[in-house]
């Protein structure tokens, strides 16, 4: 019987890494598999929570003495520094692992190739790049956070079949129950939701994750330069689900300091900005540990986020109903969707989901 290939073992490690989805930030998702020289899995594991044992340690603990002479498959370069836990490279060498195969180098400045170099210097063979594309997709939030100093951002829009996000001035339900459940699952792992003031005024959403279990607080960000969100908005009453941040111009606060001081007293965080620079807003979120953002609306804010070059992935949920008139979807999203192939569509109940990376349609960007 032929032994499985490195790619097959790495696919298993990538699947294990998904067990930590939504729970490991600010750490990346990592999975590991220990395979004996005879091709038998003797240990496996995943990093499940920040501060908990790393995937390599979990897998090696399960392998015990069977780790000697084995190959360790890991979705990310093992760490070589002391953080909340000790360096994984030392644990790997002490276990007698003969070879380490990784999907990609860890861009964290504390690692960044040093883990691979340490292992080689201590007699452990290292191969990297197996399953690298899949690993990069899996850890897109972490990689964007580290490399670009901003959150990885998903722009999601829900429209009627004729391209309207809703009727003007009134809350409009468009998505099917199946699509609603899909959207709530996404909210269960994302770090933060971002909406504009008009969405708060018209829809009055609570912006919480409902249905799937969420392991961490959910940050909600309201971009409201002029402070228009009413004091009775339902989102202000959901602080137990996670922090609520209002991004507002400093000049707006200075014009009515008593109102905003009352908001602070209720536990609402004010992110004061001197200008409407969304890049500054994104970098501020990254500094606060936010690695992933779901930009839910409305179309004006979505277009501004696109224009600022801050979007990484787009999702268009198209309902079956037509409105005939209303608030049109963001022009940049419409152009992007027009260029997506038919195979990018998938059904969600009565609706259709079209999604893909923003970079896949270069040249159609506004």
- Active site amino acids: 56
Structure tokens that stand for 141 in this block: 């939030």
Distance CA 147, CA 360 (A): 20
Longest dimension (CA), the chain: 76
Identify whether the C-beta of residue 85 lies closer than 8 Å to the C-beta of residue 54.
Answer: yes
Distance CA 193, CA 98 (A): 44
Give Cβ neighbours of residue 267 (< 8 Å, ≥ 6 apart): 239, 244
Residue found under tokens 């009775």: 232
Identify whether the C-beta of residue 315 lies closer than 8 Å to the C-beta of residue 157.
Answer: yes
Indicate the burial class of 332 (C-beta count within 10 angstroms; 0-12, 13-18, 19 or more): buried
Distance CA 336, CA 24 (A): 32
CB atoms within 10 A of CB 307: 14
Identify whether the C-beta of residue 194 lies closer than 8 Å to the C-beta of residue 295.
Answer: yes
The DSSP secondary structure of 212-224, one letter per residue, reads: S--SS--EEEEE-
DSSP secondary structure letter of residue 361? G
Positive or negative: CA dihedral 106, 109, 110, 113: positive
Identify whether the C-beta of residue 175 lies closer than 8 Å to the C-beta of residue 317.
Answer: yes
Residue 112 region, left (φ>0) first, then alpha (ψ -120 to 50), else beta?
Answer: left
């Amino acid at each position: 019987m032929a032994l499985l290939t490195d790619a097959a073992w790495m696919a298993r490690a990538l699947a294990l890494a998904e067990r930590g989805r939504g729970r490991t930030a600010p750490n990346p998702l990592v999975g590991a598999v220990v395979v004996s020289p005879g091709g038998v899995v003797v240990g496996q594991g995943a990093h499940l929570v920040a501060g908990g044992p790393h995937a390599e340690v979990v897998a090696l603990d399960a392998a015990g003495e069977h780790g000697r002479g084995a190959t360790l498959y890991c979705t990310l370069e093992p760490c070589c520094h002391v953080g909340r836990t000790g360096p994984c490279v030392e644990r790997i060498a002490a276990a007698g692992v003969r070879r380490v195969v990784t999907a990609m180098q860890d861009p964290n400045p504390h690692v960044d190739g040093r883990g691979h170099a340490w292992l080689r210097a201590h007699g452990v063979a290292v191969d990297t790049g197996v399953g690298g594309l899949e690993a990069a997709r899996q850890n897109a939030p972490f990689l964007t956070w580290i490399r670009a100093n901003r959150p990885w951002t998903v722009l999601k829009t829900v429209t009627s079949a004729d391209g309207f996000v809703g009727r003007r001035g009134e809350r409009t339900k468009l998505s099917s129950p199946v699509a609603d459940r899909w959207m709530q699952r996404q909210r269960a792992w994302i770090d933060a939701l971002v909406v504009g003031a008009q969405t708060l005024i018209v829809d009055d959403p609570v912006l919480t994750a409902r249905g799937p279990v969420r392991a961490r607080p959910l940050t909600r960000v309201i971009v409201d330069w002029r402070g228009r969100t009413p004091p009775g908005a339902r989102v202000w009453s959901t602080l137990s689900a996670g922090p609520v941040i209002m991004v507002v111009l400093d000049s707006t606060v200075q014009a009515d300091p008593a109102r905003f001081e009352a908001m602070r007293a209720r536990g609402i965080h004010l992110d004061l900005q001197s200008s409407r620079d969304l890049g500054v807003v994104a970098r501020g979120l990254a500094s606060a540990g936010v690695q992933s953002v779901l930009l839910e609306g409305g179309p004006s804010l979505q277009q501004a986020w696109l224009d600022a070059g801050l979007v990484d992935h787009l999702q268009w949920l198209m309902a079956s109903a037509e409105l005939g008139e209303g608030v049109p979807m963001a022009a940049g999203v419409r152009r992007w969707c027009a260029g997506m192939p038919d195979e990018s569509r998938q059904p969600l109940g009565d609706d259709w989901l079209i999604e893909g990376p923003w970079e896949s349609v270069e040249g159609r960007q506004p």
